[in-house]
Amino acid sequence: MIDLDHIRVFLAVAEQRSFVAAARQLSMTAPTVTRAVSALEEELGVQLLLRTTRQVSLTSAGAVYAARIAPLLEAFRRTTEDLQEQQGDVAGTIRINAPMSLGQQVLPDVVAGFRSQYPRVSLSIGLTDRFIDIVAGDVDLAIRISEAPRDKSTIWRKICRVRRVMVASPAYLALRGAPQTPEDLSAHACLAYDERSQAETWDLRRDGRTRRVRAGTTIAGNNGDLLARLAENGEGIALLPLFIVEEGLAQGRLAQVLPDCEAPEIWLTLYYPPYERLPMRVARFSDFFEAYVTQTRPL
């Protein structure tokens, strides 16, 4: 009988191309990982990996085995979790992808609270500020902050609007002067927040009129915390979600610019693959997350 744990260990080594990295990923010791792979090779009667002092690589048989067994093992995992949930047992793994700033500032408390209620659920969390292919990326749930969703191939759930503000350091405003109108921004360094780190256009509404401002001609970045720190350092004016800069505003490291101007709405949204039925563990996490960001710590 083939041991499924040995297969899981082999797949981790195949993915990482390293026994040490696989051991770190699996929270095991390297010798334990080595013994598990050796036991699987003995059970199959086939060498799956080539080991040298410098690297680990798959044999041709190992590559074929990994390619065929990985989706079967994943289907086995999901089927087991679905069966458990049908019996009312909220368990299994949720693969989550979230923006970097939100993940660092908000998710730790969400995860702690959720795990205290559902200790049999494990979480695999990846952080990135770019949009991902949720289906190809094998993700159960993606959290995004963006304009209203347009993607029709996934299921999405709008949670709440996310307020944005323009900010700059007091030192920058003292040196360059505080803008009084949106037109004044053309004489300032406006920092762009773009997933591809490219220049962007701010559509700012004031007194019923919309003005367009070009940002990112000097600095553009794809991470809100980075741009907030750059603004604190006097590099220019940034348009960012309030939750990223509220501490800097409260402590005086940042000051709000043109508070009567409104930028287009952005939303905190949950994206799902095209499930026929949302897994219970994913539904419970979604509800917990929504309650946290709308009641416990409103964004």
Question: Most distant CA pair in the chain: distance in Å?
Answer: 76
Say how far apart CA 295 and CA 221 lie, in whole Å. 30
CA 258 to mean position of chain CA atoms: 30
Tell me which H or E stretch contains 209: strand 209-215
Per-residue pLDDT tens digits for 72-98: 887 887 777 677 666 667 888 899 999
pLDDT-derived band at 289 (thresholds 50, 70, 90) equals: very high
Q: Which stretches within 27-134 are classed as H helix?
A: 30-44, 60-86, 100-105, 107-117
Are the C-beta atoms of residues 251 and 176 closer than 8 Å to each other?
A: no
pLDDT at 171: 97
Are the C-beta atoms of residues 19 and 11 closer than 8 Å to each other?
A: no
Per-residue pLDDT tens digits for 214-231: 999 899 999 999 999 999
Q: What is the mean pLDDT of residues 153-164?
A: 86
Residue count of the chain: 299
Say how far apart CA 75 and CA 91 lie, in whole Å. 16
Say how far apart CA 238 and CA 228 lie, in whole Å. 7
Residue 249: other Cβ atoms inside 10 A: 14
Per-residue pLDDT tens digits for 104-146: 999 999 999 999 999 989 999 999 888 777 766 678 999 999 8
> Residue 89 is encoded by which pair of tokens?
């047992």
Give the single-character DSSP code of 296: I
Say how far apart CA 206 and CA 196 lie, in whole Å. 28
CA atoms within 13 A on the CB side of 53: 0
- Which percentage of the chain shows pLDDT scores above 70? 94
pLDDT at 84: 67
Say how far apart CA 298 and CA 163 lie, in whole Å. 10
Instruction: Burial-class residue 163 by CB neighbours within 10 Å (0-12, 13-18, 19+).
Output: middle
